[in-house]
Amino acid sequence: MSMFEKLIPYDAAHLILGDYFQYHHQYKRITKRARIRFENRDWRGAQADSRERIALYREMVGATTEKLQDFLSDQKHSRDMWRQIKQMYLDEIYNFNSRNIAETYFNSVFRHSHKGLSADEELMFVHATGGYAEFRSLVPIYHTFLLFEPFEHSIRQLMACFSFDAPYIDLERDIIRISETLKKKLDSLYYRGANARIEMLKSVFFRNKGAYFVGRLAIGEFFYPFVIPVLHDERGIYADALLLDANEVSSIFSYNRSYFLVDTDIARELVDFLKTILPSKSLGELYNSIGFEKHGKTVMYRDFLRHMDNSDDQFILAPGVKGMVMSVFTLPSYPMVFKVIKDRFAPPKRVTEQEVKEKYELVSLHDRVGRMADSHMFENYIFDRSRFSKDLIEELTREAPSKVTVKKNTIEIKHMYVEKRMIPLNIYLDNADPEEAEEIVNEYGKAIKQLAAVNIFPGDMLLKNFGVTRLKRVVFYDYDEIVFLTDCNFRVIPEPRNPEDEFSGDPWYSVGPNDIFPEEFTKFLIGRPEIREIFLTKHGDLFNVKFWIDTQEKLIRGEMVDVFPYRKRLRFKNVYKDQMP
């Protein structure tokens, strides 16, 4: 026996820690590229970076696990060994300003090393080891600008803090427009010119074609969002809007959008700042939005455990039309749904379970453009059986017996997805008044068009596969039939050759596996005539082959269609009718 065998847990902890450092370095390096991409208008590169950063975590965790198992050899599954490794790891990271992220990395390596095990409170950081709010930068993470009229002076100072290696088109014009928009907001708040300031995060938030200066307007003890979306076209850089409404900014940070590339040293400090202007967002959502999606999952799980301890309602089948591929259940007091892939799919579904998993993986890496729900995948998740309704247990054991293990006191689910709960679109429209129906039907059409713009064809576009969010936004959440739009063959139905063709129940023309006939959409998208009429008026082009082929051609040419995460009427070009210099 080696004299220093007692140091094996320490060395194992440092093996994980060394790879965590390497991961964090690569994560930040990809993130820092975002500014350069923006300055050079390299939009494809920016999207590739987003995908690379998501994939990086899994690749690093896999490599760490392999090295660690080789190092530990026959002790790789020893509980006593892992107990010591966890303690040594905690000792080393206890004063890290990114301790929370490092704990999540450890958990991922542990789970990867112990396939088939559920969360282990003794050997994992299931519960937080601190508030993490104790870590603060030595200097503030935001700039502060006192507000005095005329506001142009403060805004000029503010904009001077955000320079790029590319010119602004007309910075003075932007300063005036931001100042005027701010003045209108302050007038609406009956501001009397005392004790107001703007606090702007020093880090710029990048996503797709946009950069966002994110801050808050502070009046006394009250905070309001202060977010400036900035764009860069062939003429130069310009401020596109000033967003001062919490709902508008909430949409930008939505769980239905891709994660921001934003450089930060202490993620919790940044999240705490964002929470002051987005109080309706959970901490898990905010970690997701800034790119720490694995830690966002950890925070969501911890939040869920706390909720289970402080509630007593039962899980039930989710309301709405039952799906052919998923069994979906929810806890009425908690704003999430839990989705389990069924063992068998009823006709006409032809996808396999593996294909369904691949579709979810595709969505996690793709630009969700605010129209596809983000989801977290959990394995070997253990629930208290007493919290499940009898109907739900019967459904799960009937539809997904290979993934559900029912014991005396627990129910273990081998594989499931967790998503934010929404109102199914068909249920929303059944209860909507005419004005609400018109707004949401318009949103439904926009959702289909914006998915098309990012090369996604939903496949099954029935109302039941879309949901309505708190902010009345329509979002797609059924991924088993999605395909890339450029892989589809959009066709016009050929004219009947004779009366027999016209009245035949079978098509008189050949239909390939990728053939899609948009004119058929009218038969199944919307049942109620008055709602269908609204849809035809606003989005009738969706039933025409031309729309789809035109969109395909743009995608093939490499065009990136502009999809704004805020309302177009707020854009300065529309407010000021594009009064360019």
Integer Cα distance of 300 and 296 in angstroms: 6
**DSSP for residue 281:** S
Helix axes 267-277, 99-113, angle to 10 degrees: 110
Integer Cα distance of 315 and 303 in angstroms: 17
Q: How far is CA 361 from CA 18, 19, 50, 93, 366, in A?
A: 28, 24, 14, 31, 9
Integer Cα distance of 105 and 57 in angstroms: 9
Integer Cα distance of 261 and 53 in angstroms: 9
Integer Cα distance of 169 and 395 in angstroms: 60
Reply yes or no on whether 374 is catalytic: yes
Integer Cα distance of 419 and 558 in angstroms: 31
Q: Would you call 184 exposed, middle or buried from its count of C-beta atoms within 10 A (0-12, 13-18, 19+)?
A: exposed
Note whether 112 and 63 are within 8 A (CB).
no
Q: How far is CA 290 from CA 26, 274, 293, 350, 492, in A?
A: 16, 10, 8, 37, 44
410's enclosing H/E stretch is strand 410-420
Dmax over Cα atoms in the chain, in whole Å? Answer: 93
Strands 456-457 and 474-476, by their bridges, are: unpaired
115, 120, 123, 125: CA torsion to nearest 10: 110
Note whether 113 and 68 are within 8 A (CB).
yes
Q: How many residues does the chain have?
A: 581
369, 373, 379, 381: CA torsion to nearest 10: 150
| Long-range Cβ pairs for the range 491-497 (8 Å, 24+) | 491/515, 491/516, 491/517, 491/545, 492/517, 492/519, 492/545, 493/517, 493/519, 493/520
Integer Cα distance of 532 and 545 in angstroms: 19
Catalytic residue among 19, 374, 478, 480: 374
Please list the active-site residues.
374
